Amino acid sequence: MQFSKHHLVYLCRVVLIAVSTTLLFSTSITAAANHKWAPKQLNPMRSPTSQLTSTKNLLSSIHQLNDNKSDTDDSDFSPHYLTKKSHSKQTIQGLINHAPDMNPTMPIRSLSQRDYRTKENLLDTSYNVFHFSPKSMFKSHTAIIDVPSKTLKPIAKIAINKWNFALKTKVFKLGNHQTATLPIKFAQAASNNWDGLYNGQKILINERHFTDPKYPTAYLKPALASQMTIKRYWTGVMAHELGHTLGLDHTAYQADLMYAPTSNGNLITKYLWEKPVQRSSTGLDGTETARISQRDLDRAKLTQLLGYW
């Protein structure tokens, strides 16, 4: 059997996701509020810096295949994009530099499909996005979700509706275990430093935390806890994990749904951070408010153009 470069890239991605699942999610969704109730961090075997370095080496191998794609390879291109002019890497870098940090505004989202295929490395690292999910998860740009737990299902519905409303399309749809491409279920966490986790195949919710009637508000400063509800928080956790399925890694902007307090858990990152680049006006992060920011939305639109969902 012969493999094209496109097939090799996909196979490399599958291997990478399997190898780096622990790295990607060890800082998990509770990390969105780690600085407030300070749970212990994982990573006992390796430092965050060494983890990031080895991951970047893996990414480099995959992205080299992407960079070597021929600009004349028009297979699988949409006729809509074939009418657009292809741009040089320098031109696209200029558009990125001109746009707000981590926010792929309309000029970036109006490139040709050839640009998205051949400049994927540049766009991934500029906007902290990556193809986390297998192609089989999203059929016609929609993932079918199964939530066996009657307790989790109402929260999942709200989170699903948030993304569908923001993207103005049914990117997520409830189904059953027979039709589902994305299960969401409870898990018993071996440690207490995550609330939600996406492992490339399913979304897991920390049952111990979810069933704690005081979590997380009782562990926050009163001034912050008074601004949020437990239901909204878990909606944010679920929506954040759904964001990962769309190809979104964490950002340093506190108001973003995809915010994390450090870059230690990122699989791909434009730059390192240990504190917010920009703090929210309320002191709460996007998970705690269950709010999809414009930056979250624009990045999700970009990942669709990149073919990640």
Q: How do residues 13-33 score in pLDDT, each as one tens digit? A: 433 444 344 344 333 433 333
What's phi and psi for 66, nearest 5 deg? -65, -45
Over pLDDT 90: what percentage of the chain? 70
Beta-carbon contacts of residue 57 (< 8 Å; ≥ 6 apart): none
**Who has greater pLDDT, 41 or 244?**
244
- CA atoms of 38 and 251, how far apart (whole Å): 19
H-run or E-run covering 57: helix 48-67
- Quick check: 56 pLDDT over 50? no
What is the CB neighbour count within 10 angstroms for residue 252?
24
Structure tokens at 54: 């080895």
User: Which pTM was predicted?
Assistant: 0.77
Span 142-150, average pLDDT:
98
Per-residue pLDDT, 50: 34
- CA atoms of 220 and 238, how far apart (whole Å): 20
- Quick check: 130 pLDDT over 80? yes
**Who has greater pLDDT, 276 or 75?**
276
**Phi-psi label, residue 290: left if phi above 0, alpha if psi -120 to 50, beta otherwise:** left
Q: Are strands 172-174 and 143-146 parallel, antiparallel or unpaired?
A: parallel
Does 119 reside within a domain? no
What's phi and psi for 299, nearest 5 deg? -65, -40
Instruction: Yes or no: say if 94 and 69 are a contact pair by the CB < 8 Å rule.
Output: no
85 pLDDT band, cuts 50/70/90, is: confident
Does 120 reside within a domain? no
Looking at the structure of the chain, the number of domains it has is 1
128 pLDDT band, cuts 50/70/90, is: very high
**What 8-state DSSP symbol labels residue 31?**
G
Interval 172-210: pLDDT, tens: 999 999 999 999 999 988 777 899 999 999 999 999 999
Does 155 reside within a domain? yes
- Quick check: 57 pLDDT over 60? no
H-run or E-run covering 203: strand 203-206
Amino acid at 222: P
- Quick check: 288 pLDDT over 70? yes
Span 55-61, average pLDDT:
44
- Quick check: 121 pLDDT over 70? yes
- CA atoms of 11 and 7, how far apart (whole Å): 6
- Quick check: 170 pLDDT over 90? yes
44: domain CATH number is 3.40.390.10
Does 190 reside within a domain? yes
- CA distances (Å), 262 to each of 59, 139, 195, 265, in order? 20, 33, 16, 7
Instruction: Yes or no: say if 236 and 290 are a contact pair by the CB < 8 Å rule.
Output: yes
Interval 64-77: pLDDT, tens: 444 444 333 333 33
The total number of residues shown for the chain amounts to 309
- Quick check: 82 pLDDT over 60? no
Amino acid at 4: S
Whose CA is closest to 237, among 278, 196, 208?
A: 196
109 pLDDT band, cuts 50/70/90, is: very high
Q: Give the neighbor-by-neighbor strand order of the sheet with 182-187.
A: 172-174, 143-146, 182-187, 203-206, 196-198
Structure tokens at 98: 């001109």
Does 148 reside within a domain? yes
- CA atoms of 258 and 19, how far apart (whole Å): 22
**What 8-state DSSP symbol labels residue 139?**
B
**Rg of the chain over CA atoms, in angstroms?**
19
Instruction: Yes or no: say if 261 and 275 are a contact pair by the CB < 8 Å rule.
Output: yes
Q: Which domain holds residue 179?
A: 5-49+132-305
Beta-carbon contacts of residue 116 (< 8 Å; ≥ 6 apart): 81, 123, 305, 306, 307
Per-residue pLDDT, 79: 37
- Quick check: 38 pLDDT over 70? no
Per-residue pLDDT, 193: 82
Does 264 reside within a domain? yes
Does 73 reside within a domain? no
Per-residue pLDDT, 191: 72
- Quick check: 122 pLDDT over 60? yes
Does 141 reside within a domain? yes
